[in-house]
Amino acid sequence: MAPPPPCPSMAPPRLIHSARVVPDTCALLQPPVATAAAAASMSGSATETPSAIQICRIMRPDDANVAGNVHGGTILKMIEEAGAIISTRHCNSQNGERCVAALARVERTDFLSPMCIGEVAHVSAEITYTSKHSVEVQVNVMSENILTGTKKLTNKATLWYVPLSLKNVDKVLEVPPVVYSRQEQEEEGRKRYEAQKLERMETKWRNGDIVQPVLNPEPNTVSYSQSSLIHLVGPSDCTLHGFVHGGVTMKLMDEVAGIVAARHCKTNIVTASVDAINFHDKIRKGCVITISGRMTFTSNKSMEIEVLVDADPVVDNSQQRYRAASAFFTYVSLSQEGKPLPVPQLVPETEDEKKRFEEGKGRYLQMKAKRQGQAEPQP
């Protein structure tokens, strides 16, 4: 599909912010409102923090995946950019030590509809909860066909950020609280916070294993499709403060997961969803990162791929290689016409592979039951 002719929408990304509401283009996509008139009223200050922002960008040919749609990693990167902007603004809304918000976790993200080249992506973000040291941001992504005016929801995600001091990026600062319009919003947010905190800790302790290459693997085995990408972290990958943007890491993770899925199926593949992405530690400029992916589970129509990110600070002999991030990606196989295809069934060989397969099956059944429950009409 050829890109549309130049138009005003193809200008550089534009940032819109409002103290109370999401812009009209995403009026139907607002997440639960937690008015982020950030603690200013509680402290007597007249300053207000924007409760919502939106970034917009037209999708170009270099954003495409092999199937011709927008790369899932590109969308994840835009989601993180919007979350980083609003959370950093909020954390600096009061007088005190300056900070930058770093991504700690992304909750499950579903790819509800493909985004096409030539469409405009509207990414809206809103702060919905704050704890003492973290910020919850809910993000919606909508695509707009600027030729027909058609709009559709493509993604919804929840991200968690922590404020790091500019003087010492290893120091986590306190977050200004938000003002909630209803008491229930704070209680619901606290439950989400406790749940993600517990899961992050559990995931970190499970991340000791390493993806090892195998010579002459058999087709449809874990070893046959597993893949790794090695990347030297440069200045363009980093914030102004010398550590990697979360969105850059997520884009690389999606690329590796896509390679694993394509090797297993040998067809066009697209990202269907991303389970929680946990960021266990910062990645600094100059590190060599290894992004490894391996198949963990297959159903009739989907594949689950585990992706691990390890960082090696080669310019710092005092620090050992460490696990920086981990996640599970789900892909589906498509024909040339874009129709779903059956997925070749994975053949786990070792005891560890069989264990991971059963764990993946449990996650698959749990999510399937959750979706069926959501589809049922409410009494």
Active-site residues: which are they? 65, 254
CB 191 within 8 A of CB 199: no
Running DSSP on this structure, what letter comes out for residue 102?
A: E
Per residue in 6-20, is it b (16+ CB within 10 Å) or e — as a string?
A: eeeeeeeeeebbeee
Strands 109-111 and 268-274: antiparallel
Pairwise CA distance, residues 303 & 339, whole Å: 16
Tokens of 323: 């696990």
Helix/strand/coil percent split, the chain, to 5? 30, 30, 40
Q: Which residues pair with 163 in a beta bridge?
A: 101
CB 289 within 8 A of CB 312: yes
Pairwise CA distance, residues 47 & 38, whole Å: 8
Question: DSSP secondary structure string, 35-98?
Answer: ---TTHHHHT------SEEEEEEE--GGGB-TTSBB-HHHHHHHHHHHHHHHHHHHHTSSSSS-
